[in-house]
Chains A and B, each alone.
Chain A
Amino acid sequence: MEIAILVLSFIILVAIRVPVAWSIGISSLLTIIISVKTIPAFTTIAQRVVTGLDSFSLLAIPFFILAGHIMNKGGIAKRLIAFAKAIVGSLPGGLAHVNIVAAMLFGAIAGSAGAAAAAIGGFMSSQMEKEGYNKEYGVAVNVTSATTGLLIPPSNIFIIYSLASGGVSIGALFLAGYLPGLLTGFMLMVVAYIWAKRKGYPTANKSSFNLLLKTFIGAVPSLFLLIVVIGGIVAGIFTATEASSVAVLYCILLSLLYKEVQLKDFKTIFVESTVTISVVMLLIAMSLAMSWVMSYENIPQMVTDSLLALSDNKWVVLIIINLILLFIGIFMDMTPAVLIFTPIFLPVVTAMGIDPVHFGIIMVLNLCIGLCTPPVGAVLFIGVGVADTTIQKVIKPLLPLFLAMLVALVIITIFPEISLWLPGLFDLV
């Protein structure tokens, strides 16, 4: 009964264009009000919202968003694109590969798919059009590679997963993301290669060693940030929050050094970051309230029981969960989806002997695919907006890339070693 009210009211609210964050809050309220008296129910939800935000690990989220904005304006994104171009620009359909590699590098540092899609897409789409690429194909490449960057650390979504799962190590999740992220990126590049061959897209000349060296040196300070952040977290020197604050300081200093921004530009950067942060924080607050309502109503237990009643085969359950997550990812943004569904599915999968770190990777990749699913994926919207085209036109070139991501998801689900090998080397799983 409670479950039906929660799910139905949420779907109806989202469908009639109530903002997702408010839909989450309102459907939670409708659910809790059945079993708790009104005034205490209001106070309890208020309390869950405030105490939910009162968390030191959540601080990493605004900081990584801020770092991403500074990189975008401060010339860091530009240098990463130049480096990517020197490495893969000479493959057939080179600019598509440049986009994929740049998004993986940038997403890896900024920790946000939206930021990567906007930063890289804005820069690449005009170049690709100039060289005769189909614009919609450019958008398809941009959105799929931007979401892939989420798997590569540092990634805000793993911090959220760590919080929602009740403390899976952030260091382990970060390391676990590398190989699946590279694998997914590689799959996208295979599709881009075949597509370029068939469409006869241009192949640029091989970049000279000098250019490679020059762009590499240009990118070193940005790449060094990764070593500081990931190295610091894995080695236990920093918490993720401390690392993210150091990342902000580093990006400020670097962009001042590059002389691409002046002190007064930071006002704009801070305000723009504030916009992104504001939207994300309300989603987080409302999702935490919904997650609490669900556990109060015993919904995770019910889902566990019914899933286990369907099958006690690990693979069948994983396939069902994967399908549910793919469906959810289509109409729910990643952050609320992870906060709400981790507490529901994690007990089921751990009972079946699946490692929580491995499940985190499966879940994130799954929802990444959702972010670029037509008609409503959030990153798809950003990519289409940046290139000034429509979602309908993007669907056709998107399809093969989308399939590549699905294949990567299947491989990563079947072989936990891909996720767990690297953190295992550091004794983190």
Chain B
Amino acid sequence: MRFKLNTFLEWTLAILLALMIIDVLWGVLTRYLLNAQSSWTDELARYFLIWIGMLGAAYASGKNLHIAIDLISATLSIKNLKRLTVFIALLISVFVFLIFIIGGSRYVYIAFKLGQLSPALHIPMGIVYSIFPLSGLIIIYFKLNDLAMLFSQKLNPSEWK
């Protein structure tokens, strides 16, 4: 499941990145060759970036790629290292729950309630922002899965960030 989800995110991100570059190039092309820039390219590119940023945060969490500075793991016993690792996973989960899921959902709710539409494409902004709580769910899944793997000894705490 975790592996499949990571592969899915990887593909989604690579495709979004490709679409984003095509979109911006299309904007450049229409502006210089046709002398009339399509009004929607900038807007769409920015929404792609929000999606890439948020889904990317989830993807990097799943692969434990977010940079941490490791000053202490060498000084800790395996047992304490494991405790610390559990604490960090829970801390990140709580933060993501509060900001991404509670804060993010409220933000999405407000956008829907006010009926905010994007200026050029008339997409409901709630849809654009919905990636925020969604990535939050994925991150929490990864962190809890980390814990499960840690307790079933499948994950070495010294490799974990």
Contacts and interface: CB of A to CB of B under 8 A. Distances in A.
A208 interface: no
Given A26-B95, A42-B103, A245-B21, A274 B53 contact: no
B88 interface: yes
Interface in B62-106: 63, 65-73, 84, 88, 91-92, 95, 98-100, 102-104, 106
A19 B68 contact: yes
A249 B26 CA distance: 12
Nearest to B106: A43
Nearest to A242: B28
Interface in A54-101: 54-56, 58-59, 62-63, 66
B148 interface: no
Interface stretch (A135-143, A276-284, A337-345): A276-284
Contacts, number: 175
Contact of B45 (A22, A44, A59, A378): A59
A20 B24 contact: no
B129 interface: yes
Nearest to A241: B24
Given A17-B70, A54-B49, A245-B24, A278 B57 contact: yes
B46 A277 contact: no
B63 A275 contact: yes
Interface stretch (A104-112, A210-218, A265-273, A400-408): A265-273
Contact of B92 (A22, A53, A55, A63): A22
Given A18-B91, A63-B21, A275 B60 contact: yes
B98 A56 contact: no
**Chain B contact surface mostly:** helix
B150 interface: no
A246 B25 contact: yes
A387 interface: no
B142 interface: no
B56 interface: yes
A285 interface: yes
B66 A63 contact: no
B117 interface: no
Given A46-B104, A47-B107, A22 B67 contact: no
B132 A46 contact: yes
Contacts of A39: 102-103, 106
Interface residues of A, number: 57
B66 A279 contact: yes
A45 B102 CA distance: 11
Nearest to B50: A53
B29 to A, nearest CB: 10
Contacts of B70: 17
A54 B46 contact: yes
Nearest to B108: A46
A238 B106 CA distance: 38
A25 interface: yes
B71 A376 contact: yes
Contact of B98 (A29, A241, A248, A275): A29
B73 A62 contact: no
B27 interface: yes
B46 to A, nearest CB: 5
Contact of B67 (A19, A44, A58, A59): A19
A301 B17 CA distance: 39
Contacts of B99: 25, 29, 42, 45-46, 49
Contacts of A284: 53
B80 to A, nearest CB: 11
Contact of B20 (A20, A62, A279): A62
B134 to A, nearest CB: 12
A1 interface: no
A143 to B, nearest CB: 16
30 contacts: A16-B88, A17-B68, A18-B68, A19-B161, A20-B66, A21-B57, A22-B92, A29-B95, A42-B103, A43-B107, A44-B103, A46-B99, A47-B107, A50-B107, A50-B129, A54-B47, A55-B46, A56-B42, A62-B17, A245-B24, A267-B14, A271-B14, A274-B10, A274-B52, A274-B56, A275-B59, A275-B63, A277-B17, A278-B56, A278-B57
Given A43-B102, A59-B24, A270-B17, 11 more contacts: A16-B72, A19-B67, A20-B67, A54-B47, A54-B50, A56-B42, A274-B17, A275-B60, A278-B60, A333-B67, A378-B67
Closest 7 CB pairs of A and B: A278-B56, A46-B103, A42-B103, A19-B66, A281-B53, A270-B14, A282-B57
